[in-house]
Structure 1
């Protein structure tokens, strides 16, 4: 993990339900909706398999964040993956996203506030992108618990524009911390 301040190093969106997302100079986040122009924006769930189960579920996956350090780890395992390839909207650096508790709020840039809702649960699409990649984004704790490394999900509490290079400040929730679970 980087020792510098946490920051945004990549921004991506896709207006369709494609696996990878295209690089952007800025993203406009909308309170309670998500990222303007992204296929996953909305008050209710937009992920196709979740819509099929219950289209009225709240959308806890408005923003997908991933740590850039994962790409270095994957490169060390022989995978060529760059920001946006795995479908994240915001690529961060210098922040251990996976270690943050549920309910953590991330202040990004001047006005954006995103609250973390859970972990991305990697699916078979990752192996269709590159064979063996699904196994590479999963790990085990010493106790045998599954570790999902494919990023975290959040909802937009306060909207605004996010630019590459924006600082990220972490606001931990009050009370006992609960680890992030798949959403």
Structure 2
């Protein structure tokens, strides 16, 4: 296990809304997500996808973003802070986008999240900040591969309480490792 990262902020919202207010803590529920959050549930809770895939398992129980992205965006004139892009957990010091599928994040008082994939950014990001959607994509200069930069999605494997300042420990799955893909 590797350590070094930390939780910067935690957020949840009871209703569908683009942004989520920061909280003093959140409670993660195994197999469901963030207690009291509109996206918690065993089956898909994403508003658009519920209309045509309502019975699929919810692989998007918890949305995480790295605060370093906000630093990059600020250099381009975009002011974004924790919770504003709809994430539940904002981290610093963890290469969330570089983790392989199945990685485990240990946070808080024993909570464990399993990384399921990349968040697919939606056009509502431009409603929040005009032009921001274009910053949520990246092309690898060497391979030419296209990827999303708007955070990662996870499921709750072990519940617990998570607060700002909590350490984040990463446990990689057994090889071979597979990169995160859109979920």
Using the size of structure 1 for normalisation, the TM-score is 0.96
Paired position in structure 1 for 2:41: 42
| 3-state SS of paired residue (1:6) | strand
Q: CA deviation at 1:163?
A: 0.9
Paired position in structure 1 for 2:148: 148
Q: CA deviation at 1:24?
A: 0.1
Gap regions ≥5 residues in structure 1 = none
How many positions carry a matched residue from both structures? 180
Greater Cα offset, 34-43 or 140-149: 140-149
Paired position in structure 1 for 2:112: 113
List aligned pairs for 1:8-157, cutoff 5 A: 8-142=7-141, 143-157=143-157
* RMSD, aligned α-carbons: 0.9
Distance 1:128 1:139 in 2: 20
Distance 1:60 1:147 in 2: 18
C-alpha deviations, 1:69-123, integer Å up to 9, x for none? 0000000011011111100000000001000000000000221000000000101
| 3-state SS of paired residue (2:126) | helix
Q: CA deviation at 1:39?
A: 0.2
Paired position in structure 1 for 2:164: 164
Gap regions ≥5 residues in structure 2 = none
| 3-state SS of paired residue (2:100) | coil
Using the size of structure 2 for normalisation, the TM-score is 0.96
Segments of 4+ in structure 1 off by > 3 A? none
C-alpha deviations, 1:11-55, integer Å up to 9, x for none? 101111100000100000000000000000000000011101110
